[in-house]
Structure formats: C-alpha cells, structure tokens
C-alpha cells in the first residue's frame, strides 16, 4: 500500500480542503501517515497571506524531500496558485495544482509518474465560475465539524492577495451542504462551523438562496445542537439581518467581524467597504439582540501610511468597542496588490511595537470578558480530554469560552451545565452541575 502525507498551512478553509484531498487518496488505496514519516507522496497545502506563509511553504517542501528523496511532491493551495512559476524553479516539486482541479489529483499523479513529467496544472482562477465540490464523507475528529460553503472573494481590499489566489465568489449548492451536514451529524458532530473565504457572500452566484436561507435549512436538522459562523463582513450585519438571526435557535452567539483598522483614513486606504461609524452600528446591532455575545475581530498594524496618530485612533476605537478577543497581525507586502506599491511603507520595528501594544490590549479585553462569567452556570460542549490533567475535559460554550471540568466518566461529545469558578491563562474552570 502506498503511503501519503499532507501538511496544511493557513486557514480553516485549507484544513477542509486537505481533509477532502486525504479522502480522495484513501479512496485510491493510499494510507495517510504523519508528515514527518517516510511517505511515497507528500502534499503541501500552502498559504500566501503573508511572506511568512510563503517561507513556511517552501520550508515544508524541502522537508518533505528530505524525509524521502524518492517521494512524489505535490504543492497546492494559495501560494501554488499565485506563484506557480516561482515554484517551478524548485527541483523538489513534481506537481503544482493551485486552488482548482484538486479532484483530479489522482489522475495528475498517474500522468506525471507514467510519463516522467513535472506538471504545472495551475489555471487562471479568475476565469473559474463553478464551485469545486470536494465533499467529505468521514470526519477526522468529532464534536465540532467544519463545513465549507463558499469559495472566492470579490472585495479586492488593497492589501489582500486572496481574491487573486481564490478567484471570484462561488457558492456551494445548498443540497450538497445539507447532505454533508447530515453525514457529519451521523458521525457525531453536534456543532457545525460554516467556513469559506467570504461566507457573507454565500448564494450571490446562485440566485435562489442566501446565507440566511442556508442557516434556516441547517437549523431544522435533527441531532444538530449548534451552528457557528466562522467570520462575517460588517456590511452584511444590518439591524434587520441580525434580528432575523435570532430565529435560528441553534446559532452560537459568537461573531467574528473583521475590522482591520480603527483609523478612518486607513480604512479608506485599505478600500474596506465601511467606515468607523458603520462598524460601530454593526456592534450595536449585535448587542441589541445578543447582549452576551462574544465579538472577536482581526486588526492589522503597519499598513502603508499608518501614522502614530492613526494607530492611536485604532487603539481608542478598539477600547470603545471592547472586543472579547482580537487577532492582531502585521501588514505583509504582497506583490500584485495595490498597497505593495504605496509609498510610506512602515518600518518593521514600528510594526512590532504596535503589534505588541495591541496584543497586550487583546489579552486584557479577553480576561475582562471572561471574568463576567465567574459564578455563572453555562452549557459546555466537551470536545476532548486534557492530555496533561487526569479526568479533566475541555470544551466550549456557545459564545466560545474555553472551559475545563473534571469528571470520572468520559464526557466527550456531551453538552453539560458547568458552574464557572476560576480563570487561569484564558481557560475557565468549573464544576459540572445537575
């Protein structure tokens, strides 16, 4: 039996795609093994959001060849899509696919091996109009399952390479999503996380359904207890939309809403589709209908032309909102994007300083949010046993608090009530109550 190994970089969408590729290989008789072991085929599913993503992708390609010099090396994903010609210069690689035609991976391997060829199968992603169906039939892991509903983005923010790496918006047909959701529930997934590149645009290309319509369908599925949305653009969260969301009984009150900057000028330079006042209105809409909601976000520091005054404006805006957590990252110059050509690129040391300041603030805001729940009884979906603590299990509340509790019985996959007693390093500890 041939052995294959896959290494995934980047986002949850890539993780989903990797799961689907593993299934394709398994269906052809491949045994999936750990990436560090000796395999016949190595697949590196790449990321190109930052320069670090590119660097890590190249490192993993070289590591795969070092693991087995005779192995067949495949590179797919966003870095493969945007830099296939550069990757052709790496002698380690046998096959480059990109972000489409991954369902043809077996035939590409067979063609390359039989003809002794190195193949670059990357196509112009901007011309792709159909969602590539990469279904998953059995899920690696239980409790929380990720389900991909959409591909591509048409936002074209000035800093972002993703529209060029993922192409235009393509929505997965609702019947295929529901079918996969039912399989996942039968497998034991009691919580489903909807993921995609820009799921706010789900259904734009289908015409007969939108995100709300899909949520309504999923909400009717038996034995599904939770629906979680991975990330939304602020522009979709109107007061009317958020009020409609309250009819989705299984929806988790955890909203990840990308901000990127709290500076009015920087938002405009980024070509984001909202300003500060509009974003604040979104926060008010959510808190009106979901007063206990966890609201998390992404913040970029060091965008070209971002002054200290712009950064201070971001700091004050973030404090005013009071997020429950923030993902802070530094601007990375991406060739092919408008911002890469902007003057006034920010020095790396300044980026580091601003990043550290915001990360410290994020840590404090997270702690403040968690402290509100001490003494409360919450429902926790327990996902796994903690490896370094006996009879201790960890899970999450609907609003994404991380909770640990002790139990002599195995409580994985169960939703139980827990009284929260203390906090340590971002984890809430509690005791199970009847």
DSSP 41: E
**Domain 3-123 class?**
alpha beta
pLDDT for res 272: 97
Task: Provide the 10 A C-beta neighbour count for residue 421.
Answer: 12
The residues, ordered by sequence, that sit 6+ positions from 413 with a Cβ below 8 Å of its Cβ are: 142, 143, 188, 190, 381, 382, 383
423: left (phi over 0), alpha (psi -120 to 50) or beta: beta
Distance between CA 61 and CA 31 in Å, rounded?
20
Distance between CA 190 and CA 187 in Å, rounded?
9
**Which option is the CATH number for 377-432: 2.40.50, 2.120.10, 2.30.30, 2.60.40?**
2.40.50
Query: Edge-to-edge strand order for the sheet containing 31-32?
Result: 31-32, 3-8, 41-46, 72-77, 95-96, 119-120
What is the CATH code of the structural domain delimited by 125-230?
3.30.750.210
pLDDT for res 388: 82
- Topology of domain 250-371, per CATH? Transcription Regulator spoIIAA (3.30.750)
pLDDT by residue, tens only, the chain of 434 residues: 899 999 999 999 999 999 999 999 999 999 999 999 999 999 999 999 998 899 999 999 999 999 999 999 999 999 999 999 999 999 999 999 999 999 999 999 999 999 999 999 999 999 999 999 988 876 655 668 899 999 999 999 999 999 999 999 999 999 999 999 999 999 889 999 999 999 999 999 998 999 999 999 999 999 999 999 999 999 999 999 999 999 999 999 999 999 999 999 999 999 999 999 999 999 999 999 999 999 999 999 999 999 999 999 999 999 999 999 999 999 999 999 999 999 999 999 999 999 999 999 999 999 999 999 999 999 999 999 998 878 999 999 999 999 999 999 999 989 999 999 999 988 999 999 97
**How far does the chain reach from its first CA to its final CA, in angstroms?**
50
- Please determine whether the domains at 250-371 and 377-432 fall in the same fold group of CATH: no
pLDDT for res 136: 83
Q: Hey, where are the domains in the chain?
A: 3-123, 125-230, 250-371, 377-432
Distance between CA 215 and CA 248 in Å, rounded?
7
pLDDT for res 1: 80
CA distances for 434 relative to 379, 410, 422, angstroms: 11, 16, 19
pLDDT for res 137: 75
Within 43-161, residue ranges assigned H as helices are 51-67, 78-82, 84-88, 105-115
Distance between CA 392 and CA 387 in Å, rounded?
8
C-alpha closest to that of 82 among 42, 44, 46, 108 = 46
Task: Provide the 10 A C-beta neighbour count for residue 343.
Answer: 6
SS3 call for 130 = coil
């Amino acid at each position: 039996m041939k052995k294959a190994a896959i290494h995934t970089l980047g986002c949850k969408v890539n993780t989903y795609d990797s799961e689907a590729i593993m299934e394709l290989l398994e269906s052809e008789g491949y045994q999936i093994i750990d990436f560090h072991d000796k395999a016949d085929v190595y697949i590196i599913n790449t990321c190109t959001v930052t320069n670090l993503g590119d660097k890590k992708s190249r490192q993993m390609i070289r590591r795969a060849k070092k693991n087995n010099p005779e192995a067949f090396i495949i590179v797919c994903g966003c870095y493969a899509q945007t830099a296939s010609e550069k990757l052709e210069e790496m002698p380690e690689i046998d096959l480059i696919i990109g972000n489409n035609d991954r369902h043809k991976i077996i035939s590409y391997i067979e063609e390359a091996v039989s003809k002794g060829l190195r193949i670059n199968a990357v196509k112009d992603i901007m011309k792709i109009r159909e969602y590539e169906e990469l279904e998953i039939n059995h899920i690696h892991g239980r409790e929380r399952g990720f389900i991909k509903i959409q591909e591509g983005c048409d936002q074209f923010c000035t800093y972002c390479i993703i529209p060029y790496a993922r192409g235009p918006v393509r929505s997965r047909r609702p019947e295929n999503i529901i079918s996969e959701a039912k399989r996942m529930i039968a497998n034991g997934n009691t919580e489903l996380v909807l993921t995609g590149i820009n799921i706010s645009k789900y259904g734009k290309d289908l015409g007969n359904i939108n995100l709300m319509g899909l949520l309504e369908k999923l909400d009717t599925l038996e034995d599904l207890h939770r629906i979680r949305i991975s990330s939304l653009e602020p522009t979709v969260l109107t007061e009317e939309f958020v009020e409609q969301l309250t009819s989705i009984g299984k929806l988790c009150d955890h909203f990840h809403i990308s901000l990127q900057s709290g500076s009015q000028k920087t938002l405009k330079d980024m070509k984001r589709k909202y300003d500060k006042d509009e974003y604040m209105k979104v926060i008010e809409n959510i808190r009106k209908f979901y007063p206990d909601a966890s609201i998390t976000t992404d913040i970029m520091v060091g965008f070209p032309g971002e002054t200290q005054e712009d950064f201070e404006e971001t700091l004050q805006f973030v404090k005013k909102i009071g997020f429950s957590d923030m993902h802070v990252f530094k601007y990375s110059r991406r060739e092919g994007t408008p911002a890469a050509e902007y003057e006034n690129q920010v020095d790396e040391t300044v980026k580091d300083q601003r990043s550290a300041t915001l990360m410290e603030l994020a840590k404090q805001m997270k702690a403040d949010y968690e402290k509100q729940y001490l003494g409360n009884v919450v429902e926790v979906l327990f996902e796994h046993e903690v490896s370094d603590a006996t009879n201790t299990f960890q899970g999450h509340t609907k609003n994404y608090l991380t909770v640990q509790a002790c139990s002599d019985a195995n409580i994985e996959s169960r939703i139980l009530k827990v009284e929260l007693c203390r906090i340590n390093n971002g984890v809430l500890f509690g005791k199970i109550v009847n």
